[in-house]
Amino acid sequence: MTNNTAYAQLMAFQRQTEALGLVAERLGWDQETMMPRGAAEQRGEEMAAMEGVLHARRTDPRIEDWLEAADPVDAEARAQLRAIRRSFVRATKVPSDLAQEIARVTSTAQGIWAEARARERVDEFLPTLQEVVDLRRQEAACLAQGGDLYDALIDDYEPGATADSLGAMFGRMRPRLVALREAVLGAPVPKAVKGHFGEAAQLRLARDLASTFSYDWSRGRLDLAVHPFSSGSAYDSRITTRVVESEPFNCIYSTIHEVGHSSYELNVDADYKLTPIGRGVSMGVHESQSRIYENQIGRGRGFTGFLYSEMQQRFDDFGIGSAEEFYRAVNRVQPGFIRTEADEVHYNLHIMMRFDLERALVRGDLAVDDLEAAWNDRFLADFGVAVDRPAHGLLQDVHWSVGLFGYFPTYTLGNVYAGCLYQALTAAVPDLEDRLSRGDTTEAVEWLRENLQRHGGLRTPRETVAAACGFEPSEGPLLDYLERKFRGLYGL
Amino acid sequence: MTNNTAYAQLMAFQRQTEALGLVAERLGWDQETMMPRGAAEQRGEEMAAMEGVLHARRTDPRIEDWLEAADPVDAEARAQLRAIRRSFVRATKVPSDLAQEIARVTSTAQGIWAEARARERVDEFLPTLQEVVDLRRQEAACLAQGGDLYDALIDDYEPGATADSLGAMFGRMRPRLVALREAVLGAPVPKAVKGHFGEAAQLRLARDLASTFSYDWSRGRLDLAVHPFSSGSAYDSRITTRVVESEPFNCIYSTIHEVGHSSYELNVDADYKLTPIGRGVSMGVHESQSRIYENQIGRGRGFTGFLYSEMQQRFDDFGIGSAEEFYRAVNRVQPGFIRTEADEVHYNLHIMMRFDLERALVRGDLAVDDLEAAWNDRFLADFGVAVDRPAHGLLQDVHWSVGLFGYFPTYTLGNVYAGCLYQALTAAVPDLEDRLSRGDTTEAVEWLRENLQRHGGLRTPRETVAAACGFEPSEGPLLDYLERKFRGLYGL
């Protein structure tokens, strides 16, 4: 076996693994969009069986031989081998039975969470959550090998990040965010949009906005989901949204957000597709794409001007008299209960709270039975409002039900990266706001594709952002942007 | 390892294989209903990777050991072992590379067929068809081991059937069908329905009719597809239909047909679900269920009376003045081009033609390049009309593009079985027509569930039908039924 043969064999093997991973992901999409309710348990078995297959492939002993024999000829090959080694080392630490049990339990747990949320019954969710926490802690113990359990889980979503480094960054961000929040909440509240926005018209607008952001419909589609998400990669990456007929921004910005995620997957270079570096490099970098589409671009003065005229053409009077008033309505700052509906000033405070709570859960410092009280206490302290019902509190997010501990902090990391990328983007495209005011996102989207998205997993997450920006990422640009935007908006 | 341990281990292993088989089937459903067009090639790779996984499991050498050690304690266990042995013997005859190549090629071939059909270009389809024929002939050669290639393929869909036995039965049926056809075509043509039947209203009716036939929506759903099909099993079996706004019976009877298929899968006893005998026992028996729902029940005098009043309430005047006239409109006999739109008198003639053509193709007696001419000649001879365009001829069916050679004859076998079951059903439920005229299908559906559907693969296909009927199945009851019905309808 020559070195080249080993590399070719390894890559052929990995290609099938990637394809099977996409199959499992498609099942997840189906579960949230199409699957009949009565299929939930069966789907759990199907997901567990797929996880068994994937785990067996990821731990296939031939991988070790191939890795040893392969001699990478260029940076791409080195990146492929790095990604494969990382996956192999991780997978071999977790027993197959445990991996399958996690897949089975989290698949059905999602339905139990959704039911409990609809019924506002925390007690009906906690036994399942306990099971999920126990399983993920077991998995973390396998992965950490004596190290920190929470770090081991974070590493799944953001290679290279640790609880300490994230916690330190959050600590630096917090005072400026709290100061901004207090200043803004002292000012008069802008007008909100008010009216009825029919589902069909909202979905038409959502489709048109996805097209505005160059979403490739030949490789995607849009459906409704309780909790919007994007799913898939390469030649098939689908988005979802939700519709509230009194509140159009929910659907609009969920859609733009998911278009950011999906575009990242669809825009990876063709050569990398269905290879280990063919996906978005990390959850944090992924979130930077959804966030910059949604916030820095989508909620900016330029783009909201375009959106205002679109909405005027499509909906009856919604009580807003000018583009400037609309810009303020889109960016109203209010201490709401729901993370996914939070404004840019509050959003990261929601994350910091979840970060602290889940770190304590995973480390064993907080019991599942005490979680709701801890949530409610912390929410009151941070937001000055008492949680009024479970769907506005502990039951609002799907993440913990499906075992996503260590995932929440990547949302704020994504915001931080988006802040850096936006600084670089505005330097590269000086007439950006002008273009966006005409609904022309092509330069922005193209800059992100060329400088970041197309590279997939070629570099580490941090290097990926640094290479696109031309500087080392930090929280500074995001905080500067937020203060500039919201002090301007509120005349502070 | 005790005998019981071996059996338990084998069944646990098979359960995961069944779950993975359902995953592959769900991908097929997605491809036909939801998948964006640009994902076709990727889906081919995904299907091939799944086939690789399934093939490896079906040929796992442990199965042989387990089969040897297991000592079945009852009829169910014996049936399970029989099904597993059959699958193992079949799978071990076919190399994994060939199985994967067939999965990959047929997945993409389906899109090529659909495109060629839309463009009416036989020449754009033939190279792909040639590839599919070659691959399936290679597979048949592995399976037949010196025997007849076509028999080897038939056995995939209808264990126990052979080209000779089917051909002999078709030969016995043909003279009576031709005589009936000639008699009917000599009589005045009944009125057809005429009007505009909007898509949304048709789909609402389709859903209501599915409910009328007790389709379990908690374990299924209805979507649109170019070529209606049902997909899945156990706790998730979905149906599809199509809508032509000038021709409501297309949607109505496609729906009822697929409800028959899906109900069979959903009604298998809970203990058998996700086991090797947890599915419909063969394609012929499957088709007997879809046909008896669609034809003997759905197109009968009783049920069409109910349907007539439903349609009167839902659609503008469609030119039919009485239930009797409606019954005749539903059952109009005409020599059309399209198999799936054929009346009960012509339907089996469409099948006999395909049976002869595909048998010749598989045996190497007919070249792919000569297939269109052979089709057109035969159609003219059998139906007295010249094919006017490829979508009305060779390009009308999806089957050959996805390699389903040996599948068509099971449609007529299904009709034959449906004839037998209907004879037994009317004996068991004397007031059947009276019930159906009120839209009450419960007794019919329950009789089929109790006597046939619930048993899954417990018995061989023929035994399954014989046990339900209380007599050995033959073509007699179907021909008697057709002659009685159509001679009555046409006053002959």
- Mind listing the pLDDT tens digit for each residue in B245-303? 999 999 999 999 999 999 999 999 999 999 999 999 999 999 999 999 999 999 999 99
pLDDT tens-digit series, residues A261-270: 999 999 999 9
Please report, as a single letter, which amino acid is at residue A76: E
Residue of B nearest to A232 (CA): B39
Q: Which two tokens stand for residue A76?
A: 């791409």
Please state, in angstroms and rounded to a whole number, the distance separating the CA atoms of residues A453 and A123.
42
The answer to whether A60 contacts chain B (CB < 8 Å) is no
B36–A217 CB contact, under 8 Å: yes
Q: Does an H or E element contain A219, and which? A: none
If 0-12 CB within 10 Å is exposed, 13-18 middle and 19+ buried, where does residue B185 land?
middle
Report which of B127, B42, B52, B40 is spatially closest to residue B91, judged by C-alpha positions: B52
The answer to whether B234 contacts chain A (CB < 8 Å) is yes
The answer to whether B354 contacts chain A (CB < 8 Å) is no
Predicted local distance difference test score (pLDDT) of residue B227: 86
Please state, in angstroms and rounded to a whole number, the distance separating the CA atoms of residues A184 and A334.
9
pLDDT tens-digit series, residues A264-323: 999 999 999 999 999 999 999 999 999 999 999 999 999 999 999 999 999 999 999 999
pLDDT tens-digit series, residues A74-114: 999 999 999 999 999 999 999 999 999 998 999 899 889 99
Residue A48 backbone phi and psi in degrees, to 5 = -65, -40
Query: What's the half-sphere exposure (Cβ side, CA atoms, 13 Å) at B39?
Result: 29
- State CA B388 to chain mean position distance: 26
- Known catalytic membership, residue A258: yes
Predicted local distance difference test score (pLDDT) of residue B68: 96
Q: Which two tokens stand for residue A208?
A: 């048109």
- Using the predicted structure, report yes or no on whether residue A469 has a pLDDT greater than 70: yes
Exactly one of A46, A51, A139, A258 is catalytic; name it: A258
- Using the predicted structure, report yes or no on whether residue B41 has a pLDDT greater than 90: yes
Mode of pairing for the β-strands spanning B236-241 and B222-224: parallel
Please state, in angstroms and rounded to a whole number, the distance separating the CA atoms of residues A336 and A320.
22
pLDDT tens-digit series, residues A328-343: 999 999 999 999 899 9
pLDDT tens-digit series, residues B78-107: 999 999 999 999 999 999 999 999 989 998
Q: Would you call B237 helix, strand, or coil by DSSP? A: strand
Q: Which DSSP category does A188 fall into? A: P
B27, B38, B216 member nearest A218 (Cβ): B38
Q: Would you call A232 helix, strand, or coil by DSSP? A: strand
- CA distances, B398 to each of A101, B1, B253, B395 (Å): 39, 47, 19, 8
pLDDT tens-digit series, residues B472-486: 999 999 999 999 999
Mean pLDDT taken over chain A: 96
Report which of B244, B204, B186, B188 is spatially closest to residue B384, judged by C-alpha positions: B186
Q: Which two tokens stand for residue B235?
A: 């706790």
Please report, as a single letter, which amino acid is at residue A313: Q
ipTM of the complex: 0.93
If 0-12 CB within 10 Å is exposed, 13-18 middle and 19+ buried, where does residue A164 land?
exposed
pLDDT tens-digit series, residues A401-458: 999 999 999 999 999 999 999 999 999 999 999 999 999 999 999 999 999 999 999 9
Mode of pairing for the β-strands spanning B222-224 and A230-233: unpaired
**pLDDT range class, residue A354, cuts 50, 70, 90:** very high
Looking at CA atoms only, how far is residue B266 from chain A in angstroms? 11
The answer to whether B50 contacts chain A (CB < 8 Å) is yes
pLDDT tens-digit series, residues A130-150: 999 999 999 999 999 999 999
pLDDT tens-digit series, residues B176-226: 999 999 999 999 999 999 999 999 999 999 999 999 999 999 999 999 998
The answer to whether A211 contacts chain B (CB < 8 Å) is no
Predicted local distance difference test score (pLDDT) of residue A4: 81
Please count the residues of chain A. 492
Predicted local distance difference test score (pLDDT) of residue A107: 86
Please state, in angstroms and rounded to a whole number, the distance separating the CA atoms of residues B45 and B65.
32
pLDDT tens-digit series, residues B355-374: 999 999 999 999 999 999 99
Predicted local distance difference test score (pLDDT) of residue B275: 98
Please state, in angstroms and rounded to a whole number, the distance separating the CA atoms of residues B43 and B106.
11
Please state, in angstroms and rounded to a whole number, the distance separating the CA atoms of residues A421 and A292.
8
Predicted local distance difference test score (pLDDT) of residue A227: 86
Q: Does an H or E element contain B232, and which? A: strand B230-233
Residues B234-241, mean pLDDT to the nearest whole number: 98
Please state, in angstroms and rounded to a whole number, the distance separating the CA atoms of residues B465 and B418.
9
pLDDT tens-digit series, residues A187-241: 999 999 999 999 999 999 999 999 999 999 999 999 999 889 999 999 999 999 9
Mode of pairing for the β-strands spanning A222-224 and A236-241: parallel
- Using the predicted structure, report yes or no on whether residue B2 has a pLDDT greater than 90: no
Q: Which residues contact A340 (CB under 8 A, 6 or more apart)?
A: A227, A228, A254, A396
- Using the predicted structure, report yes or no on whether residue B328 has a pLDDT greater than 90: yes
Predicted local distance difference test score (pLDDT) of residue A2: 66
Q: Which two tokens stand for residue B73?
A: 């304690």
- Using the predicted structure, report yes or no on whether residue B1 has a pLDDT greater than 70: no
Residue of B nearest to A41 (CA): B235
Predicted local distance difference test score (pLDDT) of residue A408: 98
